[in-house]
Structure 1
Amino acid sequence: MAVIIRMLVRRLLLLIPLLLGIIAFVFLVMRFSNNDPAVAYFQGANPTEEQLHMFRQENGLLDPLPVRYVHFVGDLLHGDLGTSVLTKASVLQSITTAMPLTFQLTVLGLLIAVVLALLLGVTAAIFRDRWPDQAIRLVSLIGVAAPSFWLALLMIQYAAVERGWFPPSGYVNPADGVGPWLRTMTLPALALSLPVAAQLTRIIRTSVVEELDKDYVRTAIGSGLPPVVVVGRNVLRNALINPLTVLGLRIGYLLGGAVVIEQIFTLPGMGTLMINAVRDGDPAVVQGVVLTIAIGFVVVNLVVDVLYLLVNPRLRSAA
């Protein structure tokens, strides 16, 4: 446990310069973009140059860039992500409203991806070089090559428009019923998770095959232990260490892919919030959403690193 605590403290200290770098990068990108908060504030009302200049002066947009960055970091430390120039609402409040849906979509997509990858990857490894393995490898190859937005359009056309199994768009809060919530979230979660499931399937298959070829597996099966027990109790525990590391990166893919999927299914999450802000020229909202997603990705990878240390005794010994 002491090793895990030391590693966690070390990683947390390393996160400080990483987060400062992310904040600086997002700040610079938004400052050099073509979106002008002053123009967005007046919403096409043909303001005069004097009105634009007064707005920029009142909001510190004419201050030197280092001064604006210091103010920006100071506001972040106080939990202030700014105010939307269009809705006049707090950016933090808008993100807090939109984040639950994106979280639900990401978690549901992650669960589907992990369950499918485990079932298909282990099955392919057990039936190595036989027809189930060949079929699963072909399907996973197609899944890796298929982008999530293309799968989303196919699912809408077949499962929603032609068959009517699921609604093509919209969102129902889980508080209003788990069944209706699942009907609105199934297609988006499937479209988001299938490419990730395909990638994890290939990695799990390779890891399980390597583990099945080790001497302790042959010894355990030769001593009379059922193969199902050996695979479930020993092989999977050792074989899933490498896929766990890859899973941290795939969660970042799910977060990024949710931006497109939410727009396709008109889900009022973080992705829709950001796309609308980009379209309307609201840089404060774009900046807040990008920072939230980036920081979430960093935190998720920290959690995965800790889990990797927990399940890998050799790494704990090395640490």
Structure 2
Amino acid sequence: MVQIARILARRIALLVPLMLGIVLFVFLVMRFSDVDPAAAFYQGTNPTPEQLHDFREEHGLLDPLPVRYVAFVGELLQGDMGISVLTRAPVIEQISTALPLTMQLTFMGLGIAVVISLVLGVTAAIYRDRLPDQLIRVVSLTGVAAPGFWLALLMIQYLAVEAGWFPTSGYVNPADSFTGWLKTMTLPAFALSLPVAAQLTRIVRTAVVEELDKDYVRTAIGSGLPPVVVVGRNVLRNALINPLTVLGLRVGYLLGGAVVIETIFALPGMGNLMITAVKNGDPAVVQGVVITTAIGFVVVNLAIDILYLLVNPRLRSAA
């Protein structure tokens, strides 16, 4: 445990410059964009040049970029992401409302992808080059080729409109009705997860096949251990390293894909908030959503790194 704590402390220390770099990148992109925060604040009116100048001076927009960046980081550390020009409300309040829904969708999709890929990948590896393996290959290739938004539209058409099993759009808070929440989240989560599940299935199959061909597996099965025990106790643990690596990268896809899926299903999450902010020229909200999403991706990858250490003790020694 002490060794894991030391490794974790080093990883967290490395996250600090990484997050500062992310904030710097977003800061520069927004500052060199064509969006003028002063003009956006007064959109719909006819502000005078004096009003625009006063706004820029009051919010430090006339200061040199290094000074503005330091001030921006200081505000972020205090939980201040600015004010929305559309609602005149703090951006942090809008993100704190939208972020839980996006996290629910992302992790629900992640869980579905992991379960599907493990079941199909292990089954294909055990029945390699036989009928179940061939069928799973076709299914996984189809899933990789099918974009998430197309799957979402098909699900809405056949499972929501024609069958009536699920609502076509909207969101129900789980505190109000867990059943209603599950119905509103099932189709978006599956539409988001199926392409990832298809990719992970192929990787899990390859990793398990390579592990099954090793001598210790044949020795264990030859000594009388049930194959289910050997696969579950030894093979999976050693074969999950590569899928975990890909899983960490796929979290970024899930977070990005949530933008499209939330728009299709009218879910009031981070994606919907981003689209609304871009349409209405709300730079503070766009900036806040991008930074929050990027930092969330970094934190999730840190969690995946910790899983590496738990799954394979040899990685702890190497670290």
TM-score range, shorter chain: over 0.9
Q: Identify which range, 83-92 or 54-63, moves more after superposition.
A: 54-63
Q: Identify which range, 117-126 or 156-165, moves more after superposition.
A: 156-165
Aligned residues: 319
SS of residue in 1 equivalent to 2:30: helix
Runs of 4+ with deviation above 6 angstroms: none
Deviations 1:209-268, CA, capped at 9 Å, x for gaps: 011111111111112222112111221111112211211111121111111111111100
SS of residue in 1 equivalent to 2:175: helix
Do structure 1's residue 109 and structure 2's residue 145 form an aligned pair? no
Do structure 1's residue 238 and structure 2's residue 238 form an aligned pair? yes
Structure 2 length-normalised TM: 0.97
8 Å Cα contact 2:80-2:92 kept in structure 1:
yes
Q: Identify which range, 140-149 or 110-119, moves more after superposition.
A: 140-149
Instruction: Report the residue type matching 1:35 in the other structure.
Output: V
Q: What is the aligned partner in structure 2 of residue 99 from structure 1?
A: 99
Map 1:1-319 onto structure 2 (within 5 A). Answer: 1-319=1-319
Instruction: Report the residue type matching 2:290 in the other structure.
Output: V
Could you tell me how far 1:124 is from its partner in structure 2? 0.3
Could you tell me how far 1:274 is from its partner in structure 2? 1.0
CA separation in 2, counterparts of 1:35 and 1:126?
56
CA separation in 1, counterparts of 2:317 and 2:30?
45
Deviations 1:78-136, CA, capped at 9 Å, x for gaps: 12111112211111111111111001101110111011001100000010001110111
Instruction: Report the residue type matching 1:318 in the other structure.
Output: A
8 Å Cα contact 1:36-1:281 kept in structure 2:
no
Instruction: Report the residue type matching 1:104 in the other structure.
Output: Q
Instruction: Report the residue type matching 1:139 in the other structure.
Output: V
8 Å Cα contact 1:171-1:181 kept in structure 2:
yes
**Structure 2 unaligned residues grouped into runs of 5+:** none
Instruction: Report the residue type matching 1:135 in the other structure.
Output: L
SS of residue in 2 equivalent to 1:293: helix
**Structure 1 unaligned residues grouped into runs of 5+:** none
Could you tell me how far 1:303 is from its partner in structure 2? 1.1
Instruction: Report the residue type matching 2:145 in the other structure.
Output: A
SS of residue in 1 equivalent to 2:53: helix
Q: Percent identity?
A: 78
8 Å Cα contact 2:237-2:312 kept in structure 1:
no
CA separation in 2, counterparts of 1:295 and 1:103?
13
